[in-house]
Amino acid sequence: MDLLEQLNGLAAKLEVRLSQAATEAELESARVDFLGRKGRLAELMSHLRELSPEERPAFGQTANAVKQKLTAMLDARRAEQEQAAESAFLASFDPTVPGRTLWNGSLHPITLAMEEVCSVFRSMGYEIAGGPEVETDFNCFEALNMPPEHPARDMQDTLYISDKVLLRTHTSCVQVRTMMSRKPPLAVIGPGKVYRRDSDVTHTPMFHQIEGLLVDRRVTMADLRGTLTAFVRAVFGSGTRVRFRPSFFPFTEPSVEVDMSCTRCGGHGHVDGQPCRICKGSGWLEILGSGMVDPAVFSAVGYDPEEVSGFAFGLGVERIAMLKYGLTDLRMNFENDVRFLHQFPV
């Protein structure tokens, strides 16, 4: 057959071949067959030399035109295939279904409050101390000036594990552990879980406390006042007022309870003419218990009460968290509802 005719016939042959090429690989093999280095077009071109000089230009031009045509056919078919693949992909799912949301983790309000309190005291030079939640009777009561028959033990509803082993009812045991393992001077805070047989709207059987203890020579009530005032203002704002009320704890003498001006009414006792519901109209909120370490406690841990003095304090973390974040129900802290937990900043 005439070479020109054969050239012109290539497009029709490719047409047939493409109509059967369903996959990308089949398309590629068609390209190699027709346009590859040893393909049909190349084969026909190799006969160029056999033509007379007059025939060559026409043949060359036709070959170029055919090459362009074949290339265009292959490109069009490839585009068609890609289009079909994309349509099939889009048809395989519903693009209007909302995507999966990634939850950002956040810290629990108790953790946030705990970290904030600890960081205030750390900035004042206090070290973090700890102890186990399962404690001895000695560390929890006896060394803290509550001998077996002491009526103060009635203040605590204790969960006993055995006669002398119990779940700690307060973090004050950290005081005992610290003093028994170290020499003064020292300043520590002990955050942790405590347990009591108590469960109602305002009490949970497990809750969190932070204990503080400072022991040195000539520590006075003025140090206690200054430290705790600075602490309350660091957490609740520099305008917060603080008052110290005489109180009683077996392990401190004298003892005080510390109140601060109400976070909601600012100490006025009322909001919009109504009694404030956070402070019940008093303008004050009790925030922690404190006092000068009782000499009997120093004696129990082997410190000389004539040589050293100190102050201690204990606060409830749930209460701080509730006041700080305006929580209204203590139990929210323990229900693990992500809609609640999600509201706290990382």
Q: Which residues bind ligand DAH (CB under 6 A)?
A: 170, 172, 211, 249, 252, 289-291, 312-314
Minimal CB distance residue for ligand DAH: 314
Compute the distance between CA of residue 90 and CA of residue 343 in angstroms, rounded to an integer: 37
Here the tokens at position 301 are 């841990």
The rounded distance, in Å, linking the Cα atoms of 289 and 298 is 19
Comparing CB distances to ligand DAH, the nearer of 236 and 313 is 313
Strands (E), the chain: 127-128, 134-136, 165-167, 186-195, 206-216, 242-249, 252-261, 270-271, 274-275, 284-293, 309-316
Shortest Cβ 342–ligand DAH spacing (Å): 31
Which C-beta is closer to ligand DAH: that of 172 or that of 333? 172
For ligand DAH, the closer of residues 30 and 290 by Cβ is 290
Q: How far is the CB of 209 from ligand DAH (least distance, A)?
A: 6
Q: Specify the residue, 262 or 297, whose C-beta has the smaller distance to ligand DAH.
A: 297
Task: Identify the DSSP state of 105.
Answer: P
Nearer to ligand DAH, 231 or 249 (CB): 249
Smallest distance, ligand DAH to C-beta of residue 314, A: 3
3-state secondary structure of 216: strand
* Minimum CB–partner distance for residue 94 and ligand DAH (Å): 57
DSSP-assigned letters across all residues of 26-38:
HHHHHHHHHHSTT
Residue 139 or 290: which CB sits closer to ligand DAH? 290
Rounded to a whole number of angstroms, the minimum distance from the CB of residue 149 to ligand DAH is 19
DSSP 39: S
Min CB(312)–ligand DAH separation in Å: 3
Instruction: Please return the burial class of 169, using the count of CB atoms within 10 Å of its CB with bins 0-12, 13-18 and 19+.
Output: buried
Taking only Cα atoms into account, the Rg of the chain, rounded to an integer number of angstroms, comes to 42
